[in-house]
Chains A and B, each alone.
Chain A
Amino acid sequence: MNRMAMLAALALLAGCVPKKVNEQPIMENDQVVPDASATVAAASAEAERRRAEAGASRDALRAEALASCAPAICDAVVRGEVALGMNEVQVLAATGSTEDAWSIRRSGASLVMVPMDPRVVPEDVVGNLAMVQLTDDRVSRYGYAEAQGVRLVNEPFDATAEGRAQAVADQLMREGDELAARGEFDAALNRYDRVSILNPSDPMVDFKIARVLDTALRPYEALIQYQLFLHRLEIEKIEARGEAAAQLAEAIALAQQRIVILERQAR
């Protein structure tokens, strides 16, 4: 009997090991955790209010924008594309935005619109707009934020597919030149290759590709590119564009010289 009592006492003692953590629980069994329906309902009401307000404002802007516009401008508004010659309301209608989305600064006859928040940039069908400049209440210049930097539209040609390709090609060419100067030849070749797709008629691209290949010790490919460069120039001469070719005199001389050297090395 005594042994039993001793065992029981030991067990009780063992159970009385002090707790290491004495924090009070913040939630216990049988409590109920409500679901998030109240939060969802509040968010839903707020979204509805926002949509209704912005929708009404957008509809009003669109009606005003289309009320008295030239056919080309009306087409651009309907397409959702900013165009030269639009007024401020037409820009808002074309971008489907309201004044809240823009920081608008006026200075004399000039007005500049830039995105209010750089994280949420207003856009048209072409891309994200970096700025829109209006002179005498008409769009005189606007720019898109693109991968290679801001692309400006100053004249109608810039807004066409060809104009855009030309602008992107120029930006890629600059990027390729910088990469080549840093000795990153593969990356430079990547940019020049992209330029040659966008602007296949520019012989300078072939010359730059040849120079990079030559510097990167890829003689066979360089030789072909130098020859292609001269071949293109010949075609250009036939097309009576001698002036352009004359400007490339130095490049031509260098290409011819390198062809001779590379051909000798190949033998």
Chain B
Amino acid sequence: MKRLHRFGPWAGALVLLVLGAAGCSNQQVSRIDPGTVTDLSGRWNDTDSRLVANALIEQSLLGPWLDRYATGHGGDAPTVIVGDFRNRSQEHIPVQTFVNDLESAYINSGAVTVVASGKEREDIRGEREDQQEFARADTRAALGQELGANYILQGELSSIADEEETMRFGATRKEKIVFYQVDARLVDLESNAVVWAGQHKIKKYIERKPFGL
């Protein structure tokens, strides 16, 4: 007790420091607006996905291809199938986020009819075939009534990175430029003609200063 008393003021400060440090590591979760820009690491994030989706939606829904199709087909909306979007960047990027945004915009605008693609179609056909055997006759979904698509939406995401480390007095400063380019195309399924091409580019500058300066 006597020994502890001898370190009294120091021990108190130490305890306070430990408590303070422990307080700093407390986890805190808060809901924030999904539209808020929150860049932490500099890698591809939700803001990039949203920017790409917004740009492609605007370019495609306000593009002349819709008017052209409607003029040739008595005002009908074109039918589009969403094909592959390839990620050719060096990062793992879930491209489906902005592709789904684009698909939703097509459907909700009513300007484009979207048909189910790939695996979805197989599942639906399986269900329909199942109905032919087990469902009541007047409630069966008819066979051979699928909509054929006029166009297929395809695209790819590419990236280019450039970085440099600068050393001075043993401290390192890192600078990095990442460039993302998303290209989307609508291709006529009969003629292979590209009827619309959209593009969005994002360039990021990421700087890591030494000592948090």
A interface residues, tally (CB under 8 Å): 53
Do residues A14 and B210 form an inter-chain contact, with CB atoms below 8 A? yes
B interface residues, tally (CB under 8 Å): 53
Mark the stretch among B66-74, B136-144, B152-160 that contacts chain A.
Answer: B66-74
Asked, given contacts A14-B210, A119-B195, whether A58 binds B35 with beta carbons under 8 Å apart, the answer is: no
Q: B205 within 8 Å of A by Cβ? A: yes
Do residues B175 and A20 form an inter-chain contact, with CB atoms below 8 A? yes
Do residues A120 and B61 form an inter-chain contact, with CB atoms below 8 A? no
Please, which residues of chain B bring their CB within 8 A of the CB of A100? 71
Mark the stretch among A48-56, A205-213, A242-250 that contacts chain B.
Answer: A48-56
Q: Which residue of B lies closest to A25 (CB)?
A: B205
Do residues B66 and A120 form an inter-chain contact, with CB atoms below 8 A? no
Interface on chain B toward A: helix, strand, loop, or mixed SS? mixed
Q: B128 within 8 Å of A by Cβ? A: no
Please, which residues of chain B bring their CB within 8 A of the CB of A266? none
Q: Which of B46-101 contact A (CB under 8 A)?
A: 47, 50-51, 53-54, 57-58, 61-62, 66-77, 101
CB distance from A58 to the nearest CB of B (A): 5
Do residues B36 and A30 form an inter-chain contact, with CB atoms below 8 A? yes
Q: How far is the CA of A55 from the CA of B51 in the complex (A)?
A: 35
Q: Which of A37-63 contact B (CB under 8 A)?
A: 39-44, 46-48, 50-55, 57-58
Please, which residues of chain A bring their CB within 8 A of the CB of B54? 33-36, 39
Do residues B205 and A21 form an inter-chain contact, with CB atoms below 8 A? yes
Q: Which residue of A lies closest to B209 (CB)?
A: A15
Q: How far is the CA of A27 from the CA of B203 in the complex (A)?
A: 11
CB distance from B30 to the nearest CB of A (A): 13
Q: B171 within 8 Å of A by Cβ? A: yes
Do residues A51 and B58 form an inter-chain contact, with CB atoms below 8 A? no
The answer, among A13, A30, A128, for a CB contact under 8 Å with B169, is: A13
Asked, given contacts A35-B54, A44-B111, A119-B195, whether A15 binds B175 with beta carbons under 8 Å apart, the answer is: no
Q: Which of A14-34 contact B (CB under 8 A)?
A: 14-17, 19-21, 23, 25, 27-34
Please, which residues of chain A bring their CB within 8 A of the CB of B73? 96-97, 101, 120, 122
Q: B129 within 8 Å of A by Cβ? A: no
Q: A219 within 8 Å of B by Cβ? A: no
Q: B193 within 8 Å of A by Cβ? A: yes
Do residues B58 and A39 form an inter-chain contact, with CB atoms below 8 A? yes
Q: How far is the CA of A62 from the CA of B188 in the complex (A)?
A: 28
- A-B contacts, 6 of them at CB < 8 A, read A12-B213, A36-B58, A40-B61, A54-B74, A120-B71, A122-B72
Q: Which residues of A contact B (CB under 8 A)?
A: 10-17, 19-21, 23, 25, 27-36, 39-44, 46-48, 50-55, 57-58, 96-98, 100-101, 115-117, 119-122, 128
